[in-house]
Amino acid sequence: MDTMTYLAHKTTGLPKHRIIGMGGALDSARFKYRLAEALDAPISDVDGMVIGGHSDTGMVPLTSHATRNSIKVSEFLSEERLEQVKEDTKVGGATLTKLLGTSAWYAPGAAVSGLVQAIACDQKKMYPCSALLDGEYGLSDLCIGVPVILGKNGIEKIVDVPLSDAEKQHMAESAEGVKKTNALLEL
């Protein structure tokens, strides 16, 4: 998905803020579900985000920023349980594909619906989306999932959130994976 977003940037001539990949919104919904499950809490109590590449190995669930009603989930869950939540999130799409033959059911539609509503209603809502980076997160000429503000103009701002050292490392590894896939394009 990140490489398709990159290809659209390189071939369409559309403005940068109008090309948006939705993988992070989908991955974040799965992350919040897994956190709520681990916390035995309603999903409405949970906030969390996944950045990085939209792949099993590229996802970077931001456990350092995940909360239950503004309290860090690390106050409720052990490091081991948080690691399990991250791993379960990463294989969510593959698990559905194994069971159902595809993972493109309700979740992708719901994710896109949220993005479209944020743009159409000028909500200035933050979502993790694949966006073309120009120095953000130390990356350039690459589309990868990062937090963005969506409004009537599409991507109105890329939000550079502080990452833990481990999250920085995972993001760098994710970017390398996306770059390898991008290198297969014949532009």
Residues marked active site are found at: 54
Please give the helix or strand (H or E) that residue 93 lies within, else none: helix 92-100
- What does the alpha-carbon distance between residue 157 and residue 159 come to, in Å, rounded to a whole number? 6
Q: Which of 162, 158, 160 shows the shortest CA–CA distance to 130?
A: 158
Say what angle helices 23-39 and 79-90 make with each other, to 10 degrees. 140
Distances in Å between the alpha carbon of 112 and those of 42, 105, 116, 126, 173?
A: 23, 12, 6, 14, 26
Residue 72 in contact with residue 66, Cβ under 8 Å? yes
